[in-house]
């Protein structure tokens, strides 16, 4: 039987050519699967409308453009999901600065057609010499059962929720999932970072039928990316992203019924995130930077104050051994 896929692409970029490349990679997919491509312009400085008007739509591709005021990638994806047709079989995500390999959707359809609910794959980022799975080892194929008839694809063994809770191995631009099962699910729109992690946990809470391809099926670009712009002590948005990590752990505790072991794991990770936030905050205090945003975060999570003395000890210790941030 013929199957159909809707692709949701959130868009906020300073260079519209990345969207052209993303759409070209969608049009190059093998197999007659595409139902619609939904591009959500999240108040982008380079308007998607201008990109598409200048010949940015490959021939034969059914692109629907939606425009919203800037509210973040989670809200943009949610807006796209709201427009997915009810008779669609699967939904795929692709960020506007990423591209797929030509066989991505065909491989996903072949596996999901065996009754699985969620498919994701390996990826590589621009500038990397090694792929995601090889570099971080968050998904290890040798620990899972191969899917018969699907080359280098593995059925996630054990409780998928617990695996994702401990190590998020899912790359957003590689995900294809069964729409009929998850059509009511949406991203946590107030999380500007890690919103995808909560979404995957919601998927896994409803089903353990996850398969993962060890093939590199997506190449991540270097467009506007909040997470990537926060790497390093002095990155402008490092504190914002670090605090989003705190919000993530608190959200996980509030949303999901965790076991005692899972709760302990999340609380340890939350403590580490608070420690890091405290270190960033102290560094900015020393540099006399404006801290209006930090005060807002402290009001949202007063426990950060409790961790400040420990953060200071870590900073002093690091400086003494020559690795400090002060």
- 250-269, pLDDT tens digit by residue? 999 999 999 999 999 999 99
Residues 256 and 181 in one domain: no
Which residues span the domain enclosing 203?
Answer: 5-220
Under 8 Å CB-to-CB from 98, ≥6 apart: which residues? Answer: 22, 173, 218, 219, 220, 221
Q: Check if the beta carbon of residue 153 is closer than 8 Å to that of residue 113.
A: no
Least confident of 166-175, 234-243, 289-298: 289-298
Closest CA to 37 of 69, 68, 5: 5
pLDDT of residue 312: 75
Q: What is the distance between the alpha carbons of residues 265 and 246, in angstroms, rounded to a whole number?
A: 14
**Rounded (5°) CA angle 305-307-309:** 95
pLDDT digits (tens, 9 = 90+) for 86-99: 999 999 999 999 99
CA nearest to 63, candidates 73, 53, 72: 53
Query: Is residue 3 pLDDT above 80, yes or no?
Result: yes
- pLDDT, position 278: 83
Using only C-alpha atoms, the chain has a radius of gyration, in whole angstroms, of: 21
pLDDT reported for residue 16:
84
Nearest to 96 by CA among 196, 37, 186, 23: 23
Of the candidates 197, 220, 243, which is a domain's last residue? Answer: 220
Share of the chain above pLDDT 70, in %: 88
More reliable by pLDDT, 59 or 11: 11
Per-residue b or e along 53-65, where b marks 16 or more CB atoms closer than 10 Å to that residue's CB: eeebbeeeeebeb
Q: Give the closest residue to 297 by CA, choosing from 245, 226, 227, 228.
A: 245
Both 216 and 232 in one domain: the answer is no
Q: What is the DSSP letter of 79?
A: H
Instruction: Answer yes or no: are the C-beta atoms of 120 and 213 closer than 8 Å.
Output: yes
| Helix%, strand%, coil% for the chain, nearest 5 | 45, 15, 40
Measured distance CA(7)–CA(174) in Å, rounded: 11
Tokens matching residue 34: 């595409």
pTM of the model: 0.89
Q: Is the pLDDT of residue 124 over 80?
A: yes
Please tell me whether residues 23 and 65 are part of one structural domain: yes
Q: How far is CA 68 from CA 80, 84, 223, 261, in A?
A: 11, 16, 19, 41
Structure tokens at 319: 């400086």
For residue 237, give Cα distances in angstroms to 12, 284, 288, 298: 17, 12, 16, 16
Strand partners, 125: 220
Residue 276 lies in a domain: yes
Residue 301 is assigned to a structural domain of this protein: yes
Does 122 lie in the same domain as 166?
Answer: yes
**What are 61-70's pLDDT values in tens digits?**
889 999 999 9
Final residue belonging to a domain, choices 154, 185, 220: 220
Average pLDDT score over residue span 102-111: 96
pLDDT category at 119 given cuts 50, 70, 90 is very high
Domain's final residue, options 220, 244, 271: 220
Domain count, the chain: 2
Residues linked to residue 249 through DSSP beta bridges, in sequence order: none
Integer CA distances (angstroms), 264 to 121, 156, 165, 260, 267, in order: 29, 23, 12, 6, 5
Q: Are residues 125 and 38 in the same domain?
A: yes
Q: Tens digit of pLDDT for each residue in 23-35?
A: 999 999 998 888 8
66 DSSP β-pair partners: 40
Domain assignment present for 257: yes
Query: What average pLDDT does the structure give for the chain?
Result: 88
Q: 278 or 200: whose pLDDT is higher?
A: 200
Q: Note whether 216 and 233 are same-domain residues.
A: no
CB atoms near residue 69 (< 10 Å): 7
What would the 3-class secondary structure string for 118-154 be?
Answer: EEEEEEEECCCCCCHHHHHCCCCHHHCEECCCCCCEE
| Whether residue 151 sits in one domain with residue 239 | no
Kindly report, residue by residue over 269-311, the tens digit of the pLDDT: 999 998 888 888 877 776 555 666 667 777 878 777 777 777 7
* Together in a domain, 246 and 104: no
Instruction: Name the more confident of 255 and 56.
Output: 255
- 180 and 286 assigned to the same domain: no
Backbone angles phi, psi at 271, to 5 degrees: -60, -40
């Amino acid at each position: 039987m013929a199957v159909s896929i809707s692709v949701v692409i959130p868009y906020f970029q300073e260079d519209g050519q990345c969207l052209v490349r993303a759409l070209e990679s969608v049009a190059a997919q093998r197999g007659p699967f595409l139902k619609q491509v939904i591009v959500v312009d999240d108040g982008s400085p380079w308007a998607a409308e201008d990109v598409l008007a200048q010949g940015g739509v490959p021939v034969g591709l059914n692109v629907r453009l939606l425009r919203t005021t800037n509210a973040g990638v989670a809200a943009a994806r949610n807006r796209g999901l709201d427009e997915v047709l009810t008779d669609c079989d699967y939904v795929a995500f692709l960020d506007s600065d990423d591209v797929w390999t030509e066989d991505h959707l065909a491989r996903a359809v072949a596996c999901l057609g065996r009754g699985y609910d969620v498919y994701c794959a390996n990826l590589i980022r621009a500038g990397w010499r090694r792929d995601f799975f090889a570099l971080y080892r968050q998904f290890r194929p040798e620990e899972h059962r191969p899917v018969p008839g699907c080359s280098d694809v593995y059925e996630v063994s054990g409780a998928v929720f617990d695996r994702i809770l401990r190590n998020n191995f899912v790359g957003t631009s590689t995900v294809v999932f069964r729409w009929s099962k998850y059509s009511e699910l949406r991203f946590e729109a107030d999380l500007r970072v890690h919103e995808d992690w909560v979404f995957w946990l919601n998927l896994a809470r409803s089903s353990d039928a996850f398969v993962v391809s060890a093939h590199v099926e997506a190449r991540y670009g270097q467009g506007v990316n909040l997470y990537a712009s926060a790497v390093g002590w002095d990155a402008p948005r490092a504190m914002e992203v670090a605090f989003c990590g705190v919000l993530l752990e608190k959200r996980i505790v509030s949303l999901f019924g965790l076991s005692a072991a899972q709760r302990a794991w999340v609380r340890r990770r939350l403590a580490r995130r608070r420690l890091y936030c405290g270190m960033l905050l102290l560094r900015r205090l020393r540099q006399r930077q404006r801290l209006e945003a930090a005060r807002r975060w402290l009001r949202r999570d007063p426990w950060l104050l409790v961790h400040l003395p420990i953060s200071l000890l870590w900073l002093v210790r690091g400086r003494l051994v020559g690795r400090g941030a002060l």
